[in-house]
């Protein structure tokens, strides 16, 4: 049964793109991008970010799509396939290495589900109207500092997301064809409304008028690079499994560019909502998660039809979060089905449900999931991204990788694409690992 499920493909090109964008669009866009932009030079950060988005999409993301399609499976099988190109004895090394980025997908899913549970609670409070009459800081603290505080919402998020994976690529595609267009429409509406706030123009100027001298600060480039990695989900795992569901006539580089374009639009629209709002109300742009649960509700309480806008904001955030969580769970589920073909999808999804809820329910307080997510983002995810980049560009035979990239390509890619991957993209992943580890030790 596992083999049959692995042969399923996305039914349409745009269905795939929307699903990939759904994976990429999430908390990294909605609060991560505005917060990083706000704390690192505004327009200067945006320039550096866009440079890395182009590099990582054309090289890194397309490579993950290509290796997944070539191996016809996700994380575990893809690493085995890449290393096997160097000989049988290396195949076993690849089979072992693949478990780390796969563990990263599962670990981040556990913490991510908690965040989406917060969003679902905020959505429910918006629908009931209670969010419009509370001190937002006290309201947020009432559940974010206590374990087992959003259990019902947590169960709904995990079980609901896993149910959308029952049919594999088919159900992922169908749900994202609804969720992603609605997400973009909702945030566009919010961005238009924010434009009428007094003082919003200062936010636009901060975002779109770079101070070029700030590009001399290496940390602006480092933060932009890290944000681009996480925003595109180039982690050596999640996008590989979506690549496995691609048809052979699809141009992976072109598709990666489309994914990056819509992911960047999502990040920019989110920033056009949050940053002008913060400038209008003289609030901290770099506040991280509290932007969603303290800052924005405070603003929404103060504007006409704030309750309506709160409902649509948190509805959009649920769509963004669930679409990303789908990818994390699917990466793990597909790999387990490939590695243990006697299992069926329902059993595997049930196992993931038990693991996620069993581990996650007791970390519903920020004091628990915050450090958990720090460990995952500082160690597991950057190392997984580096292992993937090294496996595709420094281990896998050049001709094999280029064959995967050029299958279905309108324009063939050769030495230039490959050597940028070897000597620019791979070093970027290693720099990200080194900086993350250094900052953890130093601070």
How much is the pLDDT for 389? 95
Residues 232-258 have pLDDT tens digits of: 889 888 899 999 999 899 999 999 999
How much is the pLDDT for 102? 93
The secondary structure element, H or E, covering residue 263 is helix 252-281
**What are the tokens at 54?**
């182009």
How much is the pLDDT for 287? 67
How much is the pLDDT for 441? 57
**What are the tokens at 427?**
């070093």
pTM of the predicted model as reported, rounded to 2 decimal places: 0.90
Distances (CA, A) of 163 to 150, 159, 183, 319, 330: 20, 6, 20, 15, 11
How much is the pLDDT for 162? 94
Instruction: Band the pLDDT of 175: cuts 50, 70, 90.
Output: confident
Query: Is there a contact between 388 and 237 (Cβ–Cβ < 8 Å)?
Result: yes
Instruction: Round to the nearest angstrom and report the end-to-end CA distance of the chain.
Output: 49
Query: Is there a contact between 28 and 232 (Cβ–Cβ < 8 Å)?
Result: no
205: left (phi over 0), alpha (psi -120 to 50) or beta: alpha
Residue predicted with more confidence, 405 or 35: 405
Average pLDDT over residues 106-129: 93
Residues 304-337 have pLDDT tens digits of: 888 998 998 888 888 888 888 999 999 999 999 9
- Tracing tokens 């149910």 back to the chain, one arrives at 163
Separation between Cα atoms, residue 152 and residue 149, nearest integer Å:
9
Q: In the chain, count H helices and then E strands.
A: 25, 0
Query: Is there a contact between 207 and 360 (Cβ–Cβ < 8 Å)?
Result: no
- Going by the DSSP 8-state scheme, the letter that residue 379 receives in this structure is I
How much is the pLDDT for 7? 41
> Does the structure show a pLDDT above 70 at 170?
yes
Going from N- to C-terminal start, the domains of the chain cover 2-442
> Does the structure show a pLDDT above 70 at 6?
no
- Residues contacting residue 88 through CB under 8 Å, at least 6 positions apart: none
Instruction: Band the pLDDT of 174: cuts 50, 70, 90.
Output: confident
**What are the tokens at 431?**
């720099």
> Does the structure show a pLDDT above 60 at 268?
yes
The secondary structure element, H or E, covering residue 1 is none
**What are the tokens at 105?**
């997908």
Separation between Cα atoms, residue 68 and residue 73, nearest integer Å:
6
> Does the structure show a pLDDT above 70 at 364?
yes
Question: Which of 419, 384, 400, 414 lies closest to 97, judged by CA?
Answer: 384
CATH number of 2-442: 1.20.1740.10
- Residues contacting residue 288 through CB under 8 Å, at least 6 positions apart: 31, 35
How much is the pLDDT for 440? 59
What stretches of 129-168 show up as alpha helix (H) in DSSP?
136-144, 151-163
Residues 95-112 have pLDDT tens digits of: 999 999 999 899 989 988
Separation between Cα atoms, residue 42 and residue 394, nearest integer Å:
35
Query: Is there a contact between 57 and 428 (Cβ–Cβ < 8 Å)?
Result: no
Question: Which of 86, 109, 61 lies closest to 251, judged by CA?
Answer: 61
pLDDT more than 90, % of the chain: 45
Largest CA distance in the chain: 66
> Does the structure show a pLDDT above 60 at 42?
yes
Separation between Cα atoms, residue 415 and residue 426, nearest integer Å:
15
CB neighbourhood size of 211 (10 A): 11
> Does the structure show a pLDDT above 90 at 351?
yes
């Amino acid at each position: 049964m596992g083999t049959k499920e692995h042969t399923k493909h996305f039914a349409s090109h745009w269905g795939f793109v929307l699903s990939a964008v759904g994976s990429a669009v999430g908390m990294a866009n909605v609060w991560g991008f505005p917060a990083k932009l706000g704390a690192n030079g505004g327009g200067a950060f945006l320039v550096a970010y866009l440079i890395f988005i182009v590099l990582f999409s054309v090289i890194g993301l397309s490579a993950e799509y290509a290796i997944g399609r070539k191996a016809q499976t996700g994380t575990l099988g893809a690493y085995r396939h890449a290393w096997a190109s160097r000989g049988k004895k290396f195949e076993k090394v690849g089979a072992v290495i693949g478990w780390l980025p796969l563990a990263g997908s599962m670990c981040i899913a556990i913490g991510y589900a908690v965040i989406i549970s917060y969003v679902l609670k905020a959505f429910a409070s918006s629908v009931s109207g209670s969010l419009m009459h509370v001190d937002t800081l006290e309201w947020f603290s009432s559940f974010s500092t206590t374990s087992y505080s959003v259990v019902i919402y947590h169960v709904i998020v995990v079980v609901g997301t896993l149910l959308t994976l029952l049919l594999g690529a088919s159900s992922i595609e169908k749900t994202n064809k609804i969720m992603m267009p609605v997400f973009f429409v909702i945030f566009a509406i919010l961005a238009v409304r924010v434009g009428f706030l007094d003082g919003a123009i200062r936010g636009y100027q901060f975002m779109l008028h770079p101070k070029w001298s700030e590009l001399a600060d290496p940390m602006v480039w480092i933060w932009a690079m890290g944000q681009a990695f996480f925003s595109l989900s180039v982690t050596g795992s999640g996008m590989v499994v979506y690549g496995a569901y691609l048809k052979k006539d699809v141009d992976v580089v072109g598709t990666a560019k489309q994914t990056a374009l819509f992911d960047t639009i999502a990040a920019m629209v989110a920033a056009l909502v949050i940053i002008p709002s913060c400038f209008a109300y003289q609030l901290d742009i770099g506040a991280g998660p509290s932007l969603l649960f303290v800052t924005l509700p405070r603003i929404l309480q103060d504007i006409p039809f704030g309750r309506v806008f709160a409902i649509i904001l948190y509805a959009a955030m649920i769509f963004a979060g669930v679409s990303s969580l789908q990818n994390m769970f699917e990466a793990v589920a597909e790999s387990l089905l490939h590695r243990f073909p006697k299992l069926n999808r329902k059993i595997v999804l049930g196992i993931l449900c038990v693991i996620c809820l069993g581990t996650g329910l007791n970390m519903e307080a920020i004091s628990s999931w915050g450090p958990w997510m720090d460990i995952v983002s500082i160690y597991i995810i950057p190392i997984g991204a580096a292992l993937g980049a090294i496996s595709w560009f420094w281990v896998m035979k050049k001709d094999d990788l280029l064959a995967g990239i050029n299958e279905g390509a309108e324009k063939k890619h050769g030495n230039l694409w490959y050597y940028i991957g070897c000597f620019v993209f791979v070093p970027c992943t290693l720099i990200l690992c080194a900086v993350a580890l250094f900052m953890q030790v130093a601070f």
